[in-house]
Structure 1
Amino acid sequence: MILEKGNKVYGIKNDYLYIIIILVITSLVFYLSMVFEYEIYIIFSVVNFLTWHTILEFISVIFAFIIFNNCYYSYKHTKRVRLLLLASTFFIVGSIDFLHTLSYEGMPFTFAQSSVEMATTYWVFARLIMAVGIFISSIIPFYKKSKFNEKSAIILNILLIFIIFHIVTYKIDVLPPLFIQGKGMTSLKIYLEYFIVALQILSIINFIKTYEKTSNTYLIILSSGLILMTFSEGLFTLYRSVYDTFNLLGHVYKVWGVYLIYHSIYKYNIDLPYKKLKEAQGKVSLYADNLEKIVNIRTEEFRKANEKLNKELDYAKVIQQSLLPPEKIIFENVVFNSKYIPCEKLSGDFYDIYEINKNNIAMYILDVTGHGVPAALLTMFSINNVKSNEKIIKRYRGLKPHKNLKNFYEEFNKLNFPEEMHIVTFFATYNKPNKVLTYCSAGMNCYPILIRRTGEYELLDKSRGFPICQLSEFFTPQYESAKVQLQEGDKIIFYTDGLTDVQKNSSIDHKKLLNILVRNSKSSGEKLNNYILKKLENSIKDFDDDITYFIMEIL
């Protein structure tokens, strides 16, 4: 619904039209009954009034117990506190309204002689409990749950009903009077009615606020029922005889209001779930009827997506491997032979060999945690930090491996990499005239192996360092380089742990690698490389970790 005023446009939700219509009709009837009071005011005969009163009250009691039953069994499945509170409220209210009906003046003797005082007291108890219960339910969060046993709640409700029944039926004199014969309602009764009206208005406001957040239409119906109950209480402040027009009209409003409350709760807790279930069954039936077609469509979509992803990974693989040095590099008096075997299209291993100047060669090998795309991206970061394109920086860091790795650690910690990601690397510089290798390890878990021409070997494990990881806030590592003198015929193999990881790759273990190096100590680096590759081909079929190594041979 759209209302226009000047240049502004005001929108009213269609759901509010329902509550507006109820409010207008109820207010109009209430207003007309006040204006034409003398024309319509009647004191009915006891028989006629009791007939209508009993019918209306029994209808109200039936709706109250249906609401109780609905909320009680819904609570058993959902454990929502609001449902338990509403179940208890309407169980008590339905029971007390039943006692109110039996005790109305003019009704036959049941537990005690019926009277106006007894019926009025029952009425006020029921309305107070209902107003308080609904108000509390309006402020309880919708999804708040409880482990309270529903059967225990019923026992407590029955106990409360029995206490009220005993006091009102047999000890009513201990309660202040609410109605005095010949005078009408007392001030206390009227004030209690106003208090009930106030609680119901607050409940309406709370439910409408919840509707604004959730757009739950059934809250509008519930609020409409409370509006009718509010006007009903207003009418019960006006009657002068328990058999007059205002009293009867108040009961009509009450039954109408309870029906709307029942309608909203029934629709939300029973009708709506069944509708959703039916819709879900329809969708399942539709999917079942078209399952093969849907599977074929989805399979084709997955195939295309996978094909696209594989093309992108192939392209990324080309880019990453293009950054690697050639498998064989020859410098003056030193030769490098290498092999790079990723277990996936993208690898977390990387190495590089490059000249710092005419007298010095830099080399490094690194291993990022994991493999695949995340590890490959981290290798790109590593390349830019380990090897600088600036000649001065390249020379300064290259000649001092520990300075290079310390800078690498600091730069890594400036960025917000995941805490579980880390890098281990080994950086070395070879001085060709002096044949001295200066090196530093940053947590490398497999030290390079130096094999002398004589067959003796040693591990390059004399340096000091720490893995590249996110710990700068708690720890400042120390990096120290070490040196080793090389001779003609010496060879060094630099490698990542995938080469000797027999658990992941079923490859050659560290002991076998040493035996291979010792037996081939007099062979060239190229022959040694071919021998290792042959061993790998014989031992590895499927592998779960990247394998990277390069062999440095002094000529």
Structure 2
Amino acid sequence: MEVISKQLNRVQTGFLKPPFSFMLLLGLLTLYQRHYDILDQFLEVPWLSGLVILFHMTSVIVLMALYNISYYMFIRDHKVGSLIYSAGFSVALTAYLIHLLIDFGGPGLLESPVNVSSGLLAGGHLVFFLSALAAEWIPSDRKFILKQEKLAKILPLVPAVLTILVVLILYQSSINNPVTAEISKLLSLTMDYFSAVVVLLLMMMAFRHAYIDDDYRYLGVVVGYVSLFFSKGFAILSFNYGAGAPFLSILLSLTGYALLLLEFYRKGIGDPLNDIEMKEKQIALYANNLDRVIQKRTKEIFDRNRKFETELEYARNIQQSLLPEQRFAIKNAAFVTGYFPCEDLSGDFYDIYRIDDDHVGMYILDVSGHGISAALMTMFCNNYIKSTERLIKRYRGLKPHKNLSNFYEEFNRMNFPDEMHMVIFFAAYCLSDKTLTYCSGGMNCQPFIISRDGKFKTLDESLGFPICKFSDLYKPEYQSATVELSPGDRVVFYTDGLIDMDKNRVMDQVGLEEFMSDHVELSLKALNERLIGRIYPKMDKLKDDISYFIMEIE
């Protein structure tokens, strides 16, 4: 509350400045009218003319600064108000410069207050005041954009050039012409009266602006216009009074323009620089906060990623723990396996298990996709294909087509995504009579048998359909087929990643058959080592999972 109270007092004090300055200058004007003879005697000193010229030169510098700032504001913002202000300042600046050139070295301004140069100065003031009135009247957001950028840059100088031409013509015609001097006197007086009226309007508009926008800093402009108003008052008195009136007119005119300069500097340069500095501080603060936020978020992401990688490693270990050993035997059937996921988790899966004392069940499947979703689907498959109930496991295991048909129905009962699907090959091997009963569930790479003499037989006589969400439209038929095996026969089960040259570049179908034929004399263990040796160098570039197992009849 104390801070707010101080701010309100500051604003209220600021709004007292214009009326106080108005009353003070009005008192000075009244005092001079009553006692001008005393002040004129005081001002009749030799150095006063030099001081007047100094004031005029200072006014030129102030007007030049005002023109440059308003011109810069126009180039930057393309606002009509800035264009009109810069044009008005250029005319006033030109008038002051020519006034100095005419009076410097000639009759002093105080010695001959009414002459052509005084009319020029009055005209320059009037043009500026009218420009300021037009600029204040036009909406502040209106813009003026020329396609020719160079033309836009020289546009504010056009009035100044025209002023120079007019002055040169008038000055040449007024030399040694008393009639012209009288006309100049009458015009100067008329323009000063008119200027006083215009400045009075400007003063009220500026005060209204400061009050409505609650911008107490703009009150400096109001005080500036008050000074310019009384400057015109003393200029009018100079036609009938002594040296004091023009001196005070020049002094108040300089004061008014200086106050305008402060406001234009604030609006055109000071406030934008403060905004830039404030934004730089905000950006620096934001950057520091952003850096801390980034560090915090990076640590959180790193921690989550590390936790995710740890959990992913656990999931991979769990999935691989469900796979059979790399090399083992069940009575007269020996097995070797290979498992090479292209990511941490795989969509390929296989299993080899005992159905009963005389039968071994085995399957290999390939789920669409890779990664976590495909790996979770393999867990579902393992649970339904290999039941934990002994009778169900034996019933399904001995009849591969029944097993896959049941699996298809169970898969369609689940709320899996429609695009999820898989291919599978299931087989049951009888240990006593060495027969293999099998059924394909849409497997796109059929297992094959290679005998000791190098002959091949593809297991493609079964009938089946991929496991997919299609039961509403189609009920597939699964049929098993049986083949007799002989000692030394090897049955190769694999997924398409092993023979996909586009994705993995290990070998193709023909290459796999040639590989098995070339190494038919090797032991099953040595064969598997050679096959792993072909796959392992490609591990870092795999784009599809590779899984296989090979069964050899002893």
What are the within-5 Å matches in structure 2 for residues 92-171 of structure 1? 93-94=85-86, 96-103=88-95, 107=99, 114=120, 116-125=122-131, 128-129=134-135, 135=141, 152-159=148-155, 161-162=157-158, 166=162
CA distance in 1 between counterparts of 2:411 and 2:335 reads 23
CA distance in 2 between counterparts of 1:242 and 1:495 reads 110
1:426 aligns with 2:407: no
1:382 aligns with 2:377: yes
Which has the larger share of helix?
Answer: 2
CA distance in 2 between counterparts of 1:332 and 1:352 reads 20
One-letter code aligned to 1:500: I
Aligned residues: 447
What are the within-5 Å matches in structure 2 for residues 254-293 of structure 1? 254-261=260-267, 262-266=269-273
Which residue of structure 2 aligns with residue 300 of structure 1?
Answer: none
Deviates more, 1:52-61 or 1:236-245: 236-245
Is the 8 Å Cα contact of residues 429 and 437 (structure 1) preserved in structure 2?
yes
Q: What CA deviation, in whole Å up to 9, does each residue of 1:269-312 have, x standing for no partner?
A: 699989x99xx9xxxxxxxxxxxxxxxxxxxxxx9999999867
Is the 8 Å Cα contact of residues 336 and 549 (structure 2) preserved in structure 1?
yes
Q: Which has the larger radius of gyration?
A: 2
SS of 1:507's equivalent in the other structure is: coil
What are the within-5 Å matches in structure 2 for residues 379-418 of structure 1? 379-388=374-383, 399-403=405-409, 406=412, 411-412=416-417
SS of 1:241's equivalent in the other structure is: helix
SS of 1:412's equivalent in the other structure is: coil
CA distance in 1 between counterparts of 2:165 and 2:207 reads 26
Q: What CA deviation, in whole Å up to 9, does each residue of 1:364-386 have, x standing for no partner?
A: 5335646xxxx2x3234324544
Which residue of structure 2 aligns with residue 450 of structure 1?
Answer: 448
Is the 8 Å Cα contact of residues 92 and 157 (structure 1) preserved in structure 2?
no
CA distance in 2 between counterparts of 1:229 and 1:57 reads 19
Deviation at 1:315, TM superposition (A): 4.6
CA distance in 2 between counterparts of 1:519 and 1:224 reads 99
CA distance in 2 between counterparts of 1:96 and 1:466 reads 87
Alignment CA distance shift 1:384-1:125 (3 Å) = farther
Q: What CA deviation, in whole Å up to 9, does each residue of 1:140-160 have, x standing for no partner?
A: xxxxxx9x98xx424223235
Is the 8 Å Cα contact of residues 362 and 426 (structure 2) preserved in structure 1?
yes
Is the 8 Å Cα contact of residues 96 and 161 (structure 1) preserved in structure 2?
no
1:488 aligns with 2:484: yes
What are the within-5 Å matches in structure 2 for residues 309-388 of structure 1? 314-315=313-314, 317-327=316-326, 337-342=336-341, 346-353=344-351, 363-366=363-366, 369=369, 375=371, 377-388=372-383
Is the 8 Å Cα contact of residues 354 and 363 (structure 1) preserved in structure 2?
yes
Consecutive unaligned residues of structure 1, counting only runs of 5 or more, are 5-10, 72-81, 138-145, 172-176, 206-222, 281-302, 414-421
Is the 8 Å Cα contact of residues 368 and 378 (structure 1) preserved in structure 2?
no
CA distance in 2 between counterparts of 1:37 and 1:156 reads 40
Using the size of structure 1 for normalisation, the TM-score is: 0.57
Alignment CA distance shift 1:323-1:270 (3 Å) = same
- RMSD value, Cα: 6.1
Alignment CA distance shift 1:242-1:508 (3 Å) = farther
One-letter code aligned to 2:62: I
Alignment CA distance shift 1:99-1:498 (3 Å) = same
One-letter code aligned to 2:423: F
Deviation at 1:120, TM superposition (A): 2.4
What are the within-5 Å matches in structure 2 for residues 64-75 of structure 1? 65=68
Which residue of structure 2 aligns with residue 534 of structure 1?
Answer: 530
Alignment CA distance shift 1:51-1:229 (3 Å) = same
Consecutive unaligned residues of structure 2, counting only runs of 5 or more, are 41-47, 103-115, 168-186, 236-248, 288-301, 397-401
Which residue of structure 1 aligns with residue 20 of structure 2?
Answer: 32
Using the size of structure 2 for normalisation, the TM-score is: 0.57
Which residue of structure 1 aligns with residue 257 of structure 2?
Answer: 251
Is the 8 Å Cα contact of residues 206 and 219 (structure 2) preserved in structure 1?
no
One-letter code aligned to 1:353: D
One-letter code aligned to 2:94: L
Alignment CA distance shift 1:88-1:385 (3 Å) = farther
CA distance in 1 between counterparts of 2:256 and 2:81 reads 21
Alignment CA distance shift 1:131-1:332 (3 Å) = farther
Q: What CA deviation, in whole Å up to 9, does each residue of 1:120-148 have, x standing for no partner?
A: 233442575589696469xxxxxxxx9x9
Q: Percent identity?
A: 12
Deviation at 1:238, TM superposition (A): 8.3
Alignment CA distance shift 1:166-1:540 (3 Å) = same
